[in-house]
């Protein structure tokens, strides 16, 4: 799972305000959200958060999210303004705001685990409507954007003879040219904004032509979704249900792909480690491709109650202050909750993050890491678990 959208937090000095709030609107609309925010704001004011920062957050939180049904919102801000604004598919059980020198990275990353950064494409033989998800936080345009191919001979003639064949050929050519125009724009936007998946629906012939015109890397992101149409009469509820189903299937696939790779690499004792001490060590060496955290962890949990030492740079991370000093020139030493420090270090080396269901994979200390590379200095797991005295380090329950 991508967490690169959290990078603005690394360069900000803080202090930070982090807010988790139910953004669902029902009978009272904006007033409901505003009342929830007022309660959170009072708590943050007591903790010392300044009025300008809280005003900025309040102005944004009351704005509609364009998301229907129950959902939540995660906002992180400092004196410069909003740094993160993320919609979550489920509202938090408790409205909460925190104020301190570091943002609550674990909860912000948890919001990403619930969402998918996607581009929805609904096509016909004239063009396409493109709609970005809220997840990526980069919306290139507010509502859907229409891309028209410009070739309008799209209907085949019903009469026979040579005239019929010429018109039929012109129609086929127009469809292909329109598909190429849409594909060029989709390729451009995918390169610029890097969605995780493309949800494609619409006219069957237009869908096939667009797939054939997309660049290979773009086409590999496509997932077909039934029920979409640019014309009138589409069953919007049924189409949205199909979208929801496709996104949930993608979330499961995204997680299982990481878990399968971790099981394989850890079994080889070359590409995966588990346990807090070993994960800290590989994070400090910049080896981590994907950080794995048990999904049972959160504020007040066992892991969140443990401390880790960090310096000014994200890769300056160690289990103790003495170990941190061994890393070299370290400034701005801090003792942080382990969950914040681990996500911060992962973010600093462009790692992904996957939350692991406890019933799927049991990780020592609730943490693990998939590695980019392995050498003789890689800590832990030099022997396969079956050959080690520490055979209980990982249990595959899947």
Whether omega for the bond prior to residue 212 falls within 30 degrees of 0, making it cis, is: no
Mean pLDDT, rounded, for 337-348: 90
The per-residue pLDDT for range 195-248, each reduced to its tens digit, is 899 999 999 999 999 999 999 999 999 999 999 999 888 898 899 899 989 999
φ/ψ of 320, rounded to 5, equals -140, 165
Where do the domains of the chain lie, and which CATH numbers do they carry?
4-114 (3.30.960), 118-152+167-234 (3.30.420.60), 268-371 (3.30.1330.30)
Tokens in use for 31?
Answer: 């007033």
CB 398 within 8 A of CB 361: yes
Q: What is the C-alpha to C-alpha distance for residues 370 and 328, in angstroms, rounded to an integer?
A: 25
Higher pLDDT, 109 or 198: 198
The closest of 178, 44, 199, 54 to 120, measured between CA atoms, is 199
Strand, coil or helix: 92: coil
Ramachandran assignment for 362, one of left (phi > 0), alpha (psi -120 to 50 degrees), beta (any other): beta
- Summarised one tens digit per residue, pLDDT across range 119-166 is 999 999 999 999 988 655 555 545 678 888 765 544 433 444 444 445
d(CA 104, CA 82) in angstroms, rounded, equals 14
**What is the reported pLDDT for 290?**
94
Q: Tell me which H or E stretch contains 96.
A: strand 96-100
Other CB atoms within a 10 A radius of the CB of residue 128 amount to 29
Dist CA 373 CA 387 (whole Å): 22
Alpha-carbon span 71 to 83, nearest angstrom: 20
Global pTM value: 0.75
> How do residues 282-318 score in pLDDT, each as one tens digit?
999 999 999 999 887 655 556 667 889 999 888 999 9
Average pLDDT over residues 34-61: 94
Share of the chain above pLDDT 70, in %: 83
Q: What is the pLDDT of residue 143?
A: 67
pLDDT in tens, 351-398: 989 999 888 888 899 899 999 998 888 886 443 333 333 333 344 433
């Amino acid at each position: 799972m991508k967490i690169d959208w959290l990078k603005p937090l690394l360069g900000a000095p803080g202090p930070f305000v982090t807010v988790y709030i139910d953004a669902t609107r029902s009978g009272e609309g904006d007033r409901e959200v505003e009342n929830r925010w007022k309660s959170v704001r009072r708590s943050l004011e007591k903790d010392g958060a300044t009025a300008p920062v809280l005003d900025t957050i309040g102005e944004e939180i009351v704005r509609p999210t364009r998301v229907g049904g129950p959902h939540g919102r995660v906002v992180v801000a400092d004196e410069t303004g909003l740094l993160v604004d993320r919609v979550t598919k489920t509202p938090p059980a408790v409205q909460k705001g925190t104020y301190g020198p570091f943002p609550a990275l674990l909860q912000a990353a948890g919001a990403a685990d619930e969402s998918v950064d996607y581009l929805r494409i609904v096509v016909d033989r004239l063009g396409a409507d493109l709609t970005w998800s809220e997840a990526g936080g980069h919306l290139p345009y507010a509502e859907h954007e229409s891309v028209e191919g410009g070739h309008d001979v799209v209907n085949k003639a019903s009469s026979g003879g040579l005239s019929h064949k010429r018109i039929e050929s012109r129609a086929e050519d127009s469809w292909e040219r329109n598909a190429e125009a849409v594909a060029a724009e989709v390729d451009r936007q995918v390169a610029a904004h890097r969605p995780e998946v493309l949800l494609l629906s619409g006219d069957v012939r237009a869908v096939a032509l667009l797939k054939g015109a997309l660049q290979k890397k773009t086409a590999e992101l496509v997932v077909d979704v039934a029920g979409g149409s640019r014309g009138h009469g589409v069953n919007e509820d049924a189409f949205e249900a199909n979208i929801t189903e496709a996104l949930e299937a993608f979330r499961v696939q995204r997680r299982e792909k990481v878990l399968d790779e971790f099981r394989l690499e850890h079994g080889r004792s070359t590409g995966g480690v588990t346990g807090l001490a070993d994960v800290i060590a590989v994070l400090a060496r910049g080896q981590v491709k994907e950080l794995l955290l048990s999904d049972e962890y959160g504020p007040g949990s066992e892991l969140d109650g443990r401390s880790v030492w960090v310096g000014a740079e994200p890769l300056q991370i160690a289990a103790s202050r003495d170990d941190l000093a061994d890393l070299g020139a370290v400034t701005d030493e801090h003792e942080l909750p382990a969950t914040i420090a681990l996500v911060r270090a992962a973010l600093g080396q462009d790692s992904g993050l996957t939350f692991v269901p406890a019933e799927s994979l049991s990780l020592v200390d609730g943490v693990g890491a998939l590695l980019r590379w392995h050498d003789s200095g890689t800590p832990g797991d030099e022997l396969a678990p079956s050959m080690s005295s520490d055979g209980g380090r990982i249990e595959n329950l899947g």
